[in-house]
Structure 1
Amino acid sequence: MEEPNPCISCGICCTHFRISFYWAEADDAPAGFVPAAMTEKLNHTLRCMKGSNEVPRRCSALAGTVGEEVSCTIYANRPSPCREFPVYFDDGTPNPKCDELRATIGLPPLPHSPLPFPNAA
Structure 2
Amino acid sequence: MVNYNEGRLNQVFSVLADPTRRAILQELSRGEQTTKKLAEPFDMSLPAISKHMKILENADLVSFRKVGRNKYYYLQTNAIDDAALWIDTLKSFWESQLSSLEKYLLNSEEEKGGNEK
Q: TM-score, normalised by structure 2?
A: 0.24
Q: TM-score, normalised by structure 1?
A: 0.24
